[in-house]
Amino acid sequence: MADIRGYIATSLDGYIATADDNLDWLFAYDDLDLGNHDYRTFLRGIRTVVMGRGTYDFMARDDSPWPYGDKRVLVVTSRPIPHPKGPLETREDVDALIAELRLLDDGDVWMLGGGQLQMSFIERGALRDMQIYIMPELIGGGRPLFPATGATIKPRLIAADALDRRCVRLHYSFE
């Protein structure tokens, strides 16, 4: 059975992007040395990437090549994607998607980006764990890491690590 995992960066004031979806503040850390916690290391254990439509649209606007090569990519959306940037499938029903993901046995699942979909998975008890990388930046507003939903969740801290360039890694379990 696949584990559904989170791996995300946030500003110190709790935002994953500015209100206009700008990530320049985060791209300033592209050379960050995360050691054993590096994104490429994390991605090697991932077979399936799940993202919401907002995250997909952000990636589709970027000129970079599709980054997920041989990974299975699922975009949660109710709107068709007429000319996808890379190979992907779409799903509408979050509960049905979670049931489908739990049956996978070919590698873990990465719940990529977007706080809204991420919270849907957390509220349903579907996310096993999450690594949160807190960047030493106050960006003053934007897209929150955890949008307010009224849910009360008590994750368990697995690890807290001070990393390169004053970045902090928090690793939480939701089980």
For residue range 12-66, what is the model confidence (pLDDT) as tens digits? 999 999 999 999 999 999 999 999 999 999 999 999 999 999 999 999 999 999 9
> CA 142 to CA 153: how far, in whole Å?
22
Question: What are the counts of helices (DSSP H) followed by strands (DSSP E) for the chain?
Answer: 5, 10
Q: What is the pLDDT of residue 88?
A: 97
> How open is the CA angle 111-103-47, to the nearest 5 degrees?
45
In DSSP terms, 160 is beta-bridged to: 170
Contact partners, residue 57, CB within 8 Å, separation at least 6: none
Q: What is the CATH number of domain 4-173?
A: 3.40.430.10
- pTM for this one? 0.95
Q: Binning pLDDT at 50, 70 and 90, where does residue 166 land?
A: very high
**pLDDT per residue as tens digits for the range 105-141:** 999 999 997 889 999 999 999 999 999 999 999 999 9
Compute CA distances 54 → 127, 155, 160, whole Å.
Answer: 20, 26, 29
Q: Cβ(123)–Cβ(150) under 8 Å?
A: no
Q: For every residue of 30-49, which 3-state class applies, written as one string?
A: CCCCCHHHCHHHHHHCEEEE
